[in-house]
Structure 1
């Protein structure tokens, strides 16, 4: 049996108010890209804590601000959850005292802050480099931990035994509801989103009713003597530390990268010489391409004869500005050698190097650019370098600690302060706003895997032609149909293919984005003359 009508009305009102108030604030300040997060303000554990921590890790500018904010959020979350739990308590089951519920939910709020914080920090890293692997990795533990933490706020010996399949099902349904609510909000205009957020809060209240009933109902536990919850929590903490070692900041996961454009000769109808730029952690042993018109870009530069040098994976960690300067030298060398206009073919980081070159340096003979899996709206969050204060200072040190711990048993290939990552953070206004913007005199196209839809907040993301196809990050290179489209583009033919589901996937990912830091708040960015897609939902806009 559920709670009485009066308590049910109070439960639904208490669950609806936080999302509606947060949504009203977001609409009022115009933070377009974060509107889909509001329904999580009254969600069940741990989605509520994941919501709180993402806001805190982005929007603090000093250690005192972070510590005070963490204390306040923990207390408010514990008090709100105690109220929701008490109002949701089933009528046929004896309810603990309000004091017990308050103490227990404050304890769960503190535990959730500790367990969820590393995963929330990884989601901030995702927003910095716009890599979907981080987003997906940070969501898995939420689904696994939800039934354990839900029992923690309801029963005394919650750490022993497996939660019921019913509890797991209701907690998973809340994930679905939050995802759909974020998608609906992202497609709803103006102040109507406040109503949608309030209705999502009502759905949260009903799910609190079901989850509390499932947790409080006397039932025979499986593995009743096994401390399953501490084991799950320990695995979640360990997973957060080692996840970044598996994924890597650029996520290409490839060493000797050799796409078909290097292995096959170009048709005669292609007028360009082509420079092929590998992604992060790629390497090259110096082996030549099949066509003398195609040359590999070297992250180490050129030798005395103007030929690209072989490079190891570590060479790709240099800043984008430094890599683009090396590219400028190689463009001139290739143009002198072949007498042809130059086309750039970049994968992931390589596409970002090409785009930085077009912006920072004279284009010279470059007349075409092909971008595979570019980082869509990178630089949405920030953390300062060591020894400096600023927005996200605690987040930066948390990421450094996680990378250090991950490097104890393994050799860490990346670090949160590598020149590549710092160049994205420092020049975030440009990469957030102009990565997929046209450049006069240069034909451009972006080949986007559909997974990149989760990397960009809902709204505009490109004003150059795009070719979209189902794939993961870096997965389009090598597809024969895609290679044919690349050759057609280099030959001067119009190429473009947008998929209808791309926009839908953008909206479905809206609830799980990290809130972006407004460009005008960060002194490191405020002097730039760029529009902010986080506020407008549009790219390529001047300030």
Structure 2
């Protein structure tokens, strides 16, 4: 019993130490946005490798650095997993030699790094565009693969047969522990970061013990014992990016028609503004007239000679934010000259980013009102250089995303990809979108209507210096809600609108463990961000430059 207790204690210490070290380093650097990742250092597969690859994909600045980093990550993870498995192995079950376990884990870590890498890259893409569905698409394969991969470290034929219900349960508990641990690590004061991360590591040690036992000693015969279920699960995981967005589109409140309701109703008499509505990424406009002559659709193609917005297709929305701002400047001037009224802007998703950028760089004195729907909060947290660059932060990740989205586009046919001008605009102007997007503009009334899924799109902390109206919904789904439509009219009529939800901050904290670590503004020469305020460290926005 004494020997068993000693090995168990060693397992707990080995599982607790690395999270504590990472937590201490992050706390010492003041790197608040990344603290939620610390408990995952000793997590059970695949979350440990998912942790490693997200750091590597964000933090390499050349192909050589990526290659060396990948070798270091694979070797470290293989040796660390070997130690955890050896200490977690049930004493009454014959255990292979440590050398055998090390060889096996080295090969498996290399293979699984290839399998998991696309989802880590998707997590990085989610931090570029701040879209919750991309984060979900990066995380759902982990749910799917976890029960299969947790057998890989101990079983020779782990790839055959369904995992036991015990393994499924332990893998779900593993996710819950890492989620809660990430939230707690972020929530506590800086002095408690390392101890709380160590506590999460202790729980990881217990999960390693239970998971290894469940894999070696299933209580029931393995079902489909001859079927290569794990490879089939991997193939199914690669279909997730194709399925997430179409499934979200089926949810109530995401109909494209809902986004155009502002164009199909006359303005109430109490609204004294002309209104320009800027739709989101992938939207289309057929040139239909609006119900009110004082309301106009923004066109991503510009205006006809007679001042009418030109019809546009989804691909026209792929343009850079700067070019859209130029079009908006022309349209605002034309609308104001035609109506003589002050102008209010209503922007959704990409449209919100265009409208807010316009107010920062080319504001017209007639524009005194902005309502943003589903703005991309804290976008541009990661970076990868353009295709022609041979080096730069995230260079390998950029090419992995190009391959991944290229394969997806074979089926989707959208023509969208990681290098489209709109996405590059978010990365190239990261300092503004991370610190200033949700900040007041002198002389302009601003409100942000935010679905609760937005809480999963950015690290915890302060995210807004303007009034917010929050409501349960998915990205782009708020304008279908009667309550939101009524509050929008109230806002356009001059009334203050604000409705922060109490649980919003809690959702931010629970998502902290699953986002890619942000790249500091001061690190990337492309951002010229040395000395600029960085929410990744301050956990605050709207800080003076």
> Does the pair score TM above 0.5?
yes
User: Does 1:537 find its partner at 2:539?
Assistant: yes
Counterpart of 2:357?
Answer: 356
Is contact 1:253-1:281 (8 Å) kept? no
User: Does 1:402 find its partner at 2:404?
Assistant: yes
Counterpart of 1:170?
Answer: 170
Q: CA deviation at 1:238?
A: 4.6
Q: Distance in 1 between matches of 2:281 and 2:190?
A: 40
Across the aligned residues of Structure 1 and Structure 2, the Cα RMSD in angstroms comes to 1.9
Correspondence list, 1:247-396, <5 A: 258-388=259-389, 389-396=391-398
Correspondence list, 1:462-481, <5 A: 462-481=464-483
Q: Structure 1 pair 415/257, CA: closer, same or farther in 2 (3 Å)?
A: farther
Q: CA deviation at 1:247?
A: 8.8
Secondary structure of the residue that 2:370 maps to in structure 1? Answer: strand
Is contact 1:115-1:237 (8 Å) kept? no
Counterpart of 2:136?
Answer: 136
Counterpart of 1:521?
Answer: 523
Q: Distance in 2 between matches of 1:144 and 1:362?
A: 48
Secondary structure of the residue that 1:407 maps to in structure 2? Answer: helix
Is contact 1:458-1:537 (8 Å) kept? yes
Q: Distance in 2 between matches of 1:103 and 1:215?
A: 19
Q: Distance in 1 between matches of 2:284 and 2:257?
A: 5
Taking structure 2 as the reference length, the TM-score comes to: 0.96
Q: Distance in 2 between matches of 1:287 and 1:413?
A: 25
Q: Distance in 1 between matches of 2:364 and 2:34?
A: 36
Q: Distance in 1 between matches of 2:278 and 2:15?
A: 51
Taking structure 1 as the reference length, the TM-score comes to: 0.96
Secondary structure of the residue that 1:335 maps to in structure 2? Answer: helix
Secondary structure of the residue that 2:185 maps to in structure 1? Answer: helix
Q: Structure 1 pair 238/489, CA: closer, same or farther in 2 (3 Å)?
A: closer
Counterpart of 1:447?
Answer: 449
Q: Structure 1 pair 530/247, CA: closer, same or farther in 2 (3 Å)?
A: farther
Counterpart of 2:152?
Answer: 152
Counterpart of 1:188?
Answer: 188
Counterpart of 1:460?
Answer: 462
Give CA-to-partner distance per residue, 1:485-512, whole Å, 9 cap, x none.
0011111111101100000000010111
Secondary structure of the residue that 1:400 maps to in structure 2? Answer: helix
Q: Distance in 1 between matches of 2:232 and 2:69?
A: 29
Give CA-to-partner distance per residue, 1:398-437, whole Å, 9 cap, x none.
0111122223344233111001011111001100111110
Secondary structure of the residue that 2:525 maps to in structure 1? Answer: coil
Counterpart of 2:424?
Answer: 422
Give CA-to-partner distance per residue, 1:148-193, whole Å, 9 cap, x none.
1111101111111111110111111010000001111111111211
Give CA-to-partner distance per residue, 1:96-127, whole Å, 9 cap, x none.
11111111111221122011100111111100
Deviates more, 1:529-538 or 1:317-326: 529-538
Q: Distance in 2 between matches of 1:233 and 1:465?
A: 44
Q: Structure 1 pair 138/258, CA: closer, same or farther in 2 (3 Å)?
A: closer
Is contact 2:137-2:240 (8 Å) kept? no
Give CA-to-partner distance per residue, 1:37-66, whole Å, 9 cap, x none.
000000000000000000000000000000
Secondary structure of the residue that 2:483 maps to in structure 1? Answer: helix
Secondary structure of the residue that 2:369 maps to in structure 1? Answer: strand
Counterpart of 1:103?
Answer: 103
Deviates more, 1:253-262 or 1:487-496: 253-262
Is contact 2:431-2:529 (8 Å) kept? no
Q: Distance in 2 between matches of 1:527 and 1:449?
A: 30
Q: Structure 1 pair 185/422, CA: closer, same or farther in 2 (3 Å)?
A: same
**Alignment counterpart, residue 493 of structure 2, candidates 466, 474, 491:** 491
Is contact 2:160-2:229 (8 Å) kept? yes
Give CA-to-partner distance per residue, 1:259-294, whole Å, 9 cap, x none.
322111111111110000000010111111111111
Q: Structure 1 pair 53/114, CA: closer, same or farther in 2 (3 Å)?
A: same
Q: Distance in 1 between matches of 2:21 and 2:184?
A: 17
Q: Distance in 2 between matches of 1:348 and 1:416?
A: 17
Q: Structure 1 pair 16/527, CA: closer, same or farther in 2 (3 Å)?
A: closer
Q: CA deviation at 1:245?
A: 8.0
**Alignment counterpart, residue 506 of structure 1, candidates 495, 505, 508:** 508
Give CA-to-partner distance per residue, 1:22-44, whole Å, 9 cap, x none.
01110111111000000000000
Q: Distance in 2 between matches of 1:157 and 1:167?
A: 16
Is contact 2:44-2:208 (8 Å) kept? yes
Aligned length: 540
Secondary structure of the residue that 1:519 maps to in structure 2? Answer: coil
Q: Distance in 2 between matches of 1:253 and 1:281?
A: 13
Task: Spell out structure 1 runs of 4+ moving beyond 6 A.
Answer: 251-254
Secondary structure of the residue that 1:275 maps to in structure 2? Answer: strand
Secondary structure of the residue that 2:449 maps to in structure 1? Answer: strand
Counterpart of 2:89?
Answer: 89
Is contact 1:433-1:530 (8 Å) kept? no
Q: CA deviation at 1:392?
A: 0.2
Is contact 1:2-1:213 (8 Å) kept? no
Is contact 1:33-1:457 (8 Å) kept? yes
Is contact 1:124-1:381 (8 Å) kept? yes
Any stretches of 5+ residues in structure 1 without a counterpart? none
Q: CA deviation at 1:257?
A: 6.4
Q: CA deviation at 1:146?
A: 1.0
Q: Distance in 2 between matches of 1:354 and 1:162?
A: 51
